[in-house]
Structure 1
Amino acid sequence: MTQLKRSARFAVGAGVAALLLTGCSTGSVADTADTAPTSTVAAADGPRVAVAYEGGVLIVDGETLEVVDDLPTEEFVRLNPAGDGRHAFVTTSEGFQLLDVREPELTDLVVEAAAAGHVVRHGGKTVLYDDATSDTTIFDTESLADVDGALPDAQIIEGVEAHHGVSVLLEDGTFVTTVGDASGRSGIRAVDADGTEIATSAECPGVHGEGTAQGEAVVFGCENGALVFDDGEITKLTSPDEFGRIGNAYVSENSPLVVMDYKDDPDMEGYLLTDIALVDTEAKTLEKVELPDGVSYTFRGVTRVESGDAALIGSDGKLHVIDPATGAITASHDAIDAWEGPSEWQQPHPAIAALGDVVYVTDSANSTIVALDAATGEVLATGELPEVPNEIAVVG
């Protein structure tokens, strides 16, 4: 496989390296909203959905939900849109492998990583994080749209202490990354484009996930709340429970309101959750909201739609539309059959992704996929899949 040229590697500078040496850390797919397509050809072809299954990735037409191609890969992979309207990154044992959904083709282009982790898209940058080294690889997103046999040049910011983490690069060059080591993760650190420390916090045990809201306010989950990096400062928001773990942020870059997952029982078995957290990055508040009886979800089951609302696929099989200001369910639409939560997070269970106000939901028990209009609940298309779906990523 063709791997990213190491000549594209840049040190963060002595100042940043020294800062990171004193640091701590974070972690999974929080997923931030995809950036607008930059490839005219890709946009004209319409949306496509990549669907991971055990041993491969299906490419599905986003309008008809017909299977376009079936690409073999490793037994378990994860999917993240690259943000360019054409590609997704498939995390494998080799690293971040570039998937072209237009050809379609699982290319030989790989960003080498011993433990490929988070992919963040923001401000025209696509940011990859290697948990095995804590190195961060940064591409100009639009440069990925027209790759021809080789990956574009990338900036690589070397990490210091390996941990399950995540990084984001803001439009002014501010670099925000998690801090930790093999023994645990404790917070975040921000440095400016010159490598000067702006802010740091060690008040985020188990820091995990990232989301960038309106005005480039960046939110990270903690085992006891959340951190908000905004305008050069870090604010700690404390959970209402002694243990109130937040691991994923569901954001709209057009709203200061963030919906996050929430777990208040450290001994809970399984992965079904019954509460959400609402963070207001302007007011700097965090509120826990209990979902109605019978409504539960997993980390794969929440997204944001174009209207700014959150969409959640509940274990009752309904697509619930949630007001991010109040946490109230404003509409519930029939989507798939009721389902039970997995005993391990890697196991197939319903997943959700959105493009505009169109929401795609997989039904692992029946190997199907459905597309709905989140505003009206209209079923736009349904499709049968030849394999049991796991994770999905919509590109368009």
Structure 2
Amino acid sequence: MRTSLARRAGLAALTTGTALALAACSAPATGGGTATGSGERPTASASGARVAVSYEGGILVLDGTTLDTIADLDSEEFTRLNPAGDGRHVMVTMSEGFQVLDTAAGTDGDPELTGLVFEADTPGHVVRHAGKTILYADGTSDTTVFDTAELADADALPEVETVEGVEAHHGVSVVLEDGTFITTVGSAEGRTGIVVRDASGTEIATSDQCPGVHGEGTASDEAVVFGCENGALVYRDGAILKLDAPDQPYGRMGNAYVSESSPVVVGDYKSDPDAEGYLLHAVTLIDTAAGTLDVVDLPEGVEYTFRDVARGPGDLAYVLATDGAIHVLDPETGEIERELPVIDAWTGPKEWQDAHPALVVAGDIAYVTEPATNSIHAVDLTTGEILATGELEVTPNEIAVARS
């Protein structure tokens, strides 16, 4: 099924079976950077969208069609941005926890970095699935869960459930439609795997065969993938499947890029633990239905970071590479179908937090940051046309889109 560049991994099935606890959980910001848009062609996909862009000490909120600045808000020096899942709000990682940014997408209101904060010791991953938003605190390993739709009332935090963690680690959790709770297992010494509990808190499966477990993604039929330093874990229908990377003992997948209408998960991939920098030149393709893991080497000169992959139209994968083009990859075949030139060629960051090009997708539109020119571009993924360019007075770092 894959190209000659693909390398097939071996697999081994694992299952088994630990307990669950529930409890409950609940500050403000404005300042320095503007954007001017060009190419104001309206599109159905971009209409009503708002784009949040972080920069050092602030967050811009841009119109998703024109890329004009609507608001410029003060924040902490470095923040991470994650869509909350309701098409309007963005979770901003601050020192006190996850602060709610109201982009006002789909409304006549003004964007606001609200005073609402989901308190968390070292806020980490944000997951959106099955109408829930799931927040993970690395400093405690606690998981906060709430109904995404309840964020609509911006005057107060929604009611939450807190699943108390066991040992603090950089982790992630997900809640499935039937209430199944899956979370990573680890400690300050390292991360080892996942544990699965049903809605009543009864452990139904566990695996400790995932060193350095990181990242999560849910594919079709609620097959959930977690990356490991030697492959990946797939949870589906009450069982955990371990997929070994073709490179051993180290073949790391750390981030999953998914479509909930496709069984194939695209992951990043690194086979040399001593490699310097953050540029990668291969991807993993995990078929959750077939139970296979392939590694596909990208063409020479095509490298990317964790910020540069997204799923989009046709369940395809879109990879923003160092040559400045978006490479359209078919996860079913592992082949690059076409290239869409967008920005100038770029080099990888010295540290992962450093500003470097990033890609997010909303509908048929990709938003691409270009820190070297302090700009952002909207690209029609169906035609390759650059629809708009926003010229910023600040250097863009992270990016998130809200679209009602």
Query: What TM-score, normalized to structure 2?
Result: 0.87
Does 2:178 correspond to 1:172? yes
Question: What do the CA deviations read for 1:215-274 (whole angstroms, capped 9, x no partner)?
Answer: 000000000000000011000000000110000000000000110000000000000000
Q: For residue 144 of structure 1, give the secondary structure of its aligned residue in structure 2.
A: helix
1:367-382 to structure 2, matched below 5 A, reads: 367-382=374-389
Contiguous gaps of at least 5 residues in structure 1: 1-14, 20-42
Select which of 272, 289, 311 maps to 1:304: 311
Structure 2 distance, partners of 1:132, 1:159, is 10
Q: Is the 8 A contact 1:306 1:355 kept in 2?
A: no
Q: Is the 8 A contact 2:313 2:381 kept in 1?
A: no
Select which of 168, 193, 213 maps to 1:162: 168
Q: For residue 150 of structure 2, give the secondary structure of its aligned residue in structure 1.
A: helix
Q: Amino acid of the residue matched to residue 312 of structure 1?
A: V
Structure 2 distance, partners of 1:274, 1:134, is 32
Q: For residue 265 of structure 1, give the secondary structure of its aligned residue in structure 2.
A: coil
Q: Is the 8 A contact 1:271 1:345 kept in 2?
A: yes
Does 2:394 correspond to 1:387? yes
Select which of 84, 91, 94 maps to 2:93: 91
Structure 1 distance, partners of 2:47, 2:253, is 37
Structure 2 distance, partners of 1:301, 1:145, is 30
Q: Amino acid of the residue matched to residue 217 of structure 1?
A: A
Q: What residue in structure 2 maps to residue 104 of structure 1?
A: 111
Q: What residue in structure 2 maps to residue 226 of structure 1?
A: 232
Q: Amino acid of the residue matched to residue 50 of structure 2?
A: R
Q: Amino acid of the residue matched to residue 136 of structure 1?
A: T
Q: What residue in structure 2 maps to residue 189 of structure 1?
A: 195
Select which of 267, 289, 292 maps to 1:282: 289
Q: Is the 8 A contact 1:307 1:357 kept in 2?
A: no
Shift of residue 329 of structure 1? 0.8
Q: For residue 142 of structure 1, give the secondary structure of its aligned residue in structure 2.
A: helix
Q: What residue in structure 1 maps to residue 42 of structure 2?
A: none
* Residues 383/186 of structure 1: CA separation in 2 closer, same or farther (3 Å cut): same
Shift of residue 44 of structure 1? 11
Q: For residue 307 of structure 1, give the secondary structure of its aligned residue in structure 2.
A: helix
Q: Is the 8 A contact 1:212 1:218 kept in 2?
A: yes
Structure 2 distance, partners of 1:112, 1:141, is 17
Q: What residue in structure 2 maps to residue 25 of structure 1?
A: none
Q: For residue 221 of structure 2, give the secondary structure of its aligned residue in structure 1.
A: helix
Q: What residue in structure 2 maps to residue 24 of structure 1?
A: none
Question: What do the CA deviations read for 1:129-184 (whole angstroms, capped 9, x no partner)?
Answer: 0000010000101111232x210111111111010000000000100000011100
Contiguous gaps of at least 5 residues in structure 2: 1-16, 22-44, 105-109
Q: What residue in structure 2 maps to residue 40 of structure 1?
A: none
Q: What residue in structure 1 maps to residue 68 of structure 2?
A: 66
Q: Is the 8 A contact 1:79 1:90 kept in 2?
A: yes
Q: What residue in structure 1 maps to residue 204 of structure 2?
A: 198
* Residues 44/290 of structure 1: CA separation in 2 closer, same or farther (3 Å cut): closer
Q: Is the 8 A contact 2:257 2:311 kept in 1?
A: yes
* Residues 237/95 of structure 1: CA separation in 2 closer, same or farther (3 Å cut): same
Shift of residue 198 of structure 1? 1.0
- Name segments (4+ residues, structure 1) moved above 3 Å: 15-19
Q: For residue 240 of structure 2, give the secondary structure of its aligned residue in structure 1.
A: strand
1:33-48 to structure 2, matched below 5 A, reads: 46-48=48-50
Q: What residue in structure 1 maps to residue 222 of structure 2?
A: 216
Query: Percent identity at matched positions?
Result: 63
Q: Amino acid of the residue matched to residue 96 of structure 1?
A: F
Q: For residue 299 of structure 1, give the secondary structure of its aligned residue in structure 2.
A: coil
Q: For residue 365 of structure 1, give the secondary structure of its aligned residue in structure 2.
A: helix
Structure 1 distance, partners of 2:46, 2:363, is 15
Q: Amino acid of the residue matched to residue 210 of structure 2?
A: C
Shift of residue 197 of structure 1? 1.0
Q: Is the 8 A contact 1:17 1:160 kept in 2?
A: no
Q: What residue in structure 2 maps to residue 316 of structure 1?
A: 323
Q: Is the 8 A contact 1:97 1:107 kept in 2?
A: yes
Q: Is the 8 A contact 1:85 1:145 kept in 2?
A: no
Q: Is the 8 A contact 1:213 1:255 kept in 2?
A: yes
* Residues 370/45 of structure 1: CA separation in 2 closer, same or farther (3 Å cut): closer
Q: Amino acid of the residue matched to residue 74 of structure 1?
A: E
Does 2:245 correspond to 1:239? yes
* Residues 224/183 of structure 1: CA separation in 2 closer, same or farther (3 Å cut): same
Structure 1 distance, partners of 2:270, 2:88, is 35
Does 2:131 correspond to 1:129? no
Q: Is the 8 A contact 1:79 1:89 kept in 2?
A: yes
Shift of residue 386 of structure 1? 1.5
1:357-372 to structure 2, matched below 5 A, reads: 357-372=364-379
Q: What residue in structure 2 maps to residue 115 of structure 1?
A: 122
Shift of residue 306 of structure 1? 3.0
Structure 1 distance, partners of 2:55, 2:272, is 30
Shift of residue 16 of structure 1? 5.8
Structure 2 distance, partners of 1:306, 1:47, is 17
Structure 2 distance, partners of 1:45, 1:135, is 37
Q: Is the 8 A contact 1:217 1:281 kept in 2?
A: yes
Q: Amino acid of the residue matched to residue 368 of structure 1?
A: S
Structure 2 distance, partners of 1:291, 1:348, is 23
Q: For residue 282 of structure 1, give the secondary structure of its aligned residue in structure 2.
A: coil
Q: Is the 8 A contact 2:20 2:197 kept in 1?
A: no
Select which of 68, 77, 91 maps to 2:79: 77
Q: Is the 8 A contact 1:321 1:330 kept in 2?
A: yes
Shift of residue 17 of structure 1? 3.9
